[in-house]
Amino acid sequence: MYNSDDPIFNTVEIGGHNFPGTWRYILHPDFINLKIPKEKLADCTNCPMVILNNYNPQYKCCTHFAQIPNFQIGLALKDPASRVIAQNVIDNGLALPTGIEITPRYYIESIGAHKKNLFGKSIEILCPFMDRSKGMCTIYPYRTVICTTFFCGHDHCKNGILYWEKLSEMAHHAERAITQWSMKKSGMNIERYMERLDDLSESLGELSGIPSYAWSKKAREYLYGSWFGKEAEFFEKCADHVMAHRGDLWEIGCSQDIIEALHFEEAVDNLLNIQTVDQANGQTNGETCNDHFINHDSSDDDFSLVELWENLNHATDKLYKLPQNGQILSFNNEAEIKENKMDSPLNTLFKNRPFYVTLISKTGDEPVTIFLTSEEKEALSLFLKPVKIENSIFNSIKFLKIEKPEEFISKFIGCNILIIQNQLND
C-alpha cells in the first residue's frame, strides 16, 4: 500500500545528495551516516556540460537507457505520481522479470552513440522515464545506481571518482541480490529464469521488438512464463516483499547468491565485439561491454556485500586523508595559482571565482583545474612554502572564512595540489 510518508517511497538525503529510499534498507545500516562528497562541480540544475560539451540542455546525461530493478518498478507502480509512466514502460515491452532491461540490439545502438560522442547530445538514446516536455525524471525516488552515482565532475579528483565507483559497486550488488530474492519470494524460479535467458543466447537478433528498445513478445512470453500478461502485478509483488522485510534486507542481500546467465552475457559480449570491429573497420579500441552501462556487468561479483562495504569505507578514508601533526604539507611545484580572466568557456562558467589552481602532471595523469574564491586562494597560498602541521593551523586567520578547513585541505591533497611530507627537504 502506498503511503506518501513512508520513507521507502521518498528519497533519503545524505551529504546533500538524494538517494533512493530503498537504499536505507538494502545497504549497510551505517550508510545513512556516511560522509559523502557534495560534488559542487556537477550541478544538474546548471549543468556545466551544456556549456563545455554541448549537452542537450533539457536532457543532459539522461540520454542513457536506465535499467531499473523489479522492486523499484513495483514501488513506482504503487506511487500515483509515477504509476502511469511505469505502466506504459511495461506495456511497451521494456521490462523483464528482473526489471527494466536493455535489449541486445538497443545496447549495440547505444554503444554506437557513445562511440560517436553523442552521450548527452542525442535523444535517440534517451531514458524511458524522462518527461520530454519538462526534461525531468518521472521516477526520481526509484531511480537506479548509475542515475544516482554518476557525476560529470568530481571535487576530489581521482579520489572522488574512486569513492563513487565503490559506492556504485556496492549498491549495484545489493540491487541485484534483492532483485533475485524478490523474484524467488514472488514464486519465480530464478535458476530456471537464467536458464531460459541462456536459451535465448542463440537468437539475440530476434529478441528486440519494434522499436529496438522493446523486447519481443515471444521473448517476454518465454521469460515471464505464467506471469506473462500480469507483469505489473509481479513487480508490485516484488515491492511488497521488499516493504515487508525492509528491516532485514541488508542481511538478506549478504546471504543471497547471485545467479547469472553466463551464456547469454557471453553472447552479448561477442555480438558487441563483432559490431565494434565492423563499425571501426577492424579497430576495437579495446572497448568491451563492461566499459559501459548494463545490468549484466559483473565487475562487483568478485566481492561479497560486506567486502564491498569495507571497500567503500577505505575509499572514504582516502577521500578525507589529512596529514598528522608534525608532518609537512607543501604546494606541488607542478601546480600554479592563476587569475581567472574568463577567457574560455570553462573559466566563464566559474565567473564568480576569481582564481584557479591548475596542475599539469608530468606523470601522465589527467590535468586538474580547480576554481577558487578569494578566501580559498588565500588559504591555499599558505602552503606555497612548506608548513609543519599543527592543530592550530586550522584556526589561523587564513582559514577563518573556510567553512570546513579539514575537508578543504583533504580535497587538495586528493587532487595532488598539496603534498604530504614526513620532513622538510634540505
The neighbouring-strand residues paired with 331 are 418
Provide the pLDDT for residue 299.
56
Q: Which pLDDT score is estimated for 275? A: 61
Give the pLDDT confidence of 303-330 residue by residue, as tens digits.
999 999 999 999 999 999 999 888 999 9
Burial of 143 (0-12, 13-18, 19+ CB in 10 A): buried
Q: How far apart are the first and last CA of the chain?
A: 70
DSSP 15: T
Cα–chain-centroid distance for residue 213? 22
List all residues 6 or more positions away from 152 whose beta carbon is below 8 Å from its beta carbon: 41, 42, 47, 48, 49, 61
Partnered with residue 421 across adjacent β-strands are 328
Cα 341 to Cα 64: distance, rounded to the nearest angstrom: 35
- State the Cα–Cα distance between residues 290 and 255, nearest whole angstrom: 25
- Those residues of the chain that have pLDDT short of 70 are 274-301, 364, 423-426
Convert 200-237 to b/e letters by CB count within 10 Å (16 or more is b).
bbeebeebbbeebbbbbeebbeebbeebeeebbebbbb
Yes or no: say if 271 and 104 are a contact pair by the CB < 8 Å rule. yes
**Angle between helix 374-381 and helix 405-414 axes, rounded to 10 deg:** 70
The answer to whether the CB of 138 falls within 8 A of the CB of 129 is yes
Q: What is the pLDDT of residue 125?
A: 83
- Alpha helices, DSSP H only, in 95-189? 104-115, 145-149, 157-185
Number of other residues whose CB lies within 10 A of the CB of residue 260: 15
Residues 261 and 198 sit within 8 Å (Cβ to Cβ): yes
Give the span between the Cα atoms of 321 and 158, in whole angstroms: 13
- Total-model pTM: 0.90
**What stretch of H or E contains 29?**
none
pLDDT reported for residue 365? 74
Alpha-carbon distance 342 to 268, whole Å? 47
The C-alpha cell of 215 is what?
A: 523486447
Burial bucket for residue 282 (CB in 10 Å: 0-12, 13-18, 19+): exposed
Instruction: Please classify residue 191 by burial: count the beta carbons closer than 10 Å to its beta carbon, then call 0-12 exposed, 13-18 middle and 19+ buried.
Output: exposed
pLDDT of residue 129: 95
